[in-house]
Amino acid sequence: MWATDRQRGATAAEFALCAVIFFSALFFMLEISRALYLMHTLQEATRRAAAAAAVSDFSDPVVMNRIRQTAVLRDTPGPLILGAPVTDAHIRIDYLSLTRAQNGSMTMTDIPATNLPACPARARINCVANPYGPSCIRFVRVRVCAPGGEVCDAVNYQPIFPLTGISFPLPQSITITKAETLGFQPGSTLCP
């Protein structure tokens, strides 16, 4: 009987040590899997948003908010499923012009929000008048950025299990696509 009680105590101690190692490894693997999921999902989110923004009315804030929400797989504002801290506010949509330098080289240039055409019809007219002008929208760029800044700062990974100690900035997810209709419909009225 004396040996049996000792064995029970040893078994409990061994189980406790094994359980700590097992659950630590399990939580670490779950965290790594979630990080990989998040990296791939953010790239897909930028692809979805760029494809939608290329054919949607850039001057309508409701449409642009819907594109951001759809990109993070939601119908309402909020975080990406299993992707906290990324929300629809992290999806940044920029419009780019293609400017030609004196030496003939062409570069994509950001069009500031204040210089964007007032409507899709005006954007079409700008591009017909001068395809390399600073207000001709030629490309749509979508990035995942920390909200609030002028610069596109990286979003930091937020672990589900903080004891794993995993912390790193998520890689930049960027998609650039050719601007298509930008919401222009034949027969649209010209904006002021």
| Sheet architecture: strand order including 139-144 | 106-110, 91-100, 139-144, 174-178
* Token pair for 90: 């992290």
Q: Tell me which residue has tokens 């953010």.
A: 42
pLDDT (0 to 100) of residue 94: 96
pLDDT (0 to 100) of residue 92: 96
pTM, two decimal places: 0.85
One-letter identity of residue 15: F
In a domain, 187, yes or no: no
Helices (H), 54-133: 61-71, 120-129
pLDDT (0 to 100) of residue 1: 47
In a domain, 190, yes or no: no
pLDDT (0 to 100) of residue 5: 60
- Give the three-class secondary structure for 163: helix
- Give the three-class secondary structure for 8: helix
pLDDT (0 to 100) of residue 77: 93
For 110, the enclosing helix (H) or strand (E) is strand 106-110
pLDDT (0 to 100) of residue 6: 61
In a domain, 186, yes or no: no
pLDDT of the chain, 192 residues: tens digit per residue: 455 666 667 888 888 899 999 998 998 899 889 989 999 999 999 999 999 999 999 999 999 999 999 999 999 999 998 888 899 999 999 999 998 888 888 999 999 988 899 989 999 999 999 998 888 999 999 999 998 888 999 999 888 877 767 788 998 899 999 999 998 888 877 786
Determine the angle formed by the axes of helices 61-71 and 2-53, rounding to 10 degrees.
150
In a domain, 138, yes or no: yes
In a domain, 183, yes or no: no
In a domain, 141, yes or no: yes
* Neighbour tally for 3: CB within 10 Å: 7
In a domain, 36, yes or no: yes
In a domain, 191, yes or no: no
pLDDT (0 to 100) of residue 3: 54
Q: Are 121 and 190 in contact (CB under 8 A)?
A: yes
Number of domains in the chain: 1
Domain enclosing residue 123, as ranges: 2-178
pLDDT (0 to 100) of residue 149: 80
- How far is Cα 74 from Cα 145, in angstroms, rounded to an integer? 18
